[in-house]
Amino acid sequence: MSHRALLALGSNLGDRWANLGGAVAGLPDVVAVSRVYETAPVGGPDQGPYLNCVVRLETDLDARALLDAAHERERAAIRRSGVRWGPRTLDVDVLWIDGETVREPDLEVPHPRMFERAFVLVPLGDVAPDLVGEVPDDQGAILAVGSLDPATGTRGD
């Protein structure tokens, strides 16, 4: 049985657009992609801005299978990140799966901090407005900079 799942994608190293586009193209069952936003990093060391988006899937995959797909996309982007909350080529987080709650050491769904981060909530509002409440305004500028095609991951502005 198919259900809605939401994943957050972010990149601030290398070709950020290509990193996001490759991830979108390689994820299963994508039906919608938020606008792409440029955002200031939150926490961690001094680093450059991120491109962030949220994808909506209609899938029969469970949380563990979606985490595996997220890790595969990160490997394909040759994920580089040596510091917690540091710069990275690609970060993919499982945010939400309708009707599913997971509390495991390496996976929590719903994502425990998704409602605290404007860089997640703003794009989340594009693809799942029913989940978004008040967006925190203390995390710097969030600027819509373009879009990605849900089927191909190609850039469209």
Domain locations along the chain: 3-156
pLDDT of residue 10: 95
Topology given in CATH for the domain delimited by 3-156: Alpha-Beta Plaits (3.30.70)
What is the rounded CA–CA span in Å between residue 155 and residue 144? 13
Q: Specify the pLDDT at position 83.
A: 64
Residues 121 and 17: their CA atoms lie apart, in Å, by 20
In angstroms, the CA 73 to CA 63 distance is 15
Instruction: Indicate the burial class of 12 (C-beta count within 10 angstroms; 0-12, 13-18, 19 or more).
Output: buried
What per-residue confidence (pLDDT) applies to 90? 94
Q: What is the pLDDT of residue 1?
A: 86
Residue 17 CA to residue 148 CA, distance in Å, equals 9
Whether 79 is a known active-site residue: answer yes
pLDDT of residue 31: 97
From 56, 91, 117, 126, the catalytic residue = 91
pTM of the model as a whole? 0.92
DSSP reduced 3-state for 77: coil
Evaluate if residue 78 carries a pLDDT over 90. no
The reported pLDDT for the residue numbered 16 is 96
Per-residue pLDDT tens over the stretch 15-70? 999 999 999 999 999 999 999 999 988 777 778 999 999 999 999 999 999 999 99
Between CA 117 and CA 156 the distance in angstroms is: 25
**Considering 35, 56, 93, 117, which one is annotated as catalytic?**
93
Catalytic residue among 29, 62, 64, 79: 79
Q: How far apart are CA 11 and CA 99, in angstroms?
A: 29
pLDDT tens-digit readout, 89-143: 999 999 999 999 999 999 999 999 898 888 999 999 999 999 997 776 655 678 9
Quick check: is 88 catalytic? yes
Mean pLDDT of 74-101: 84
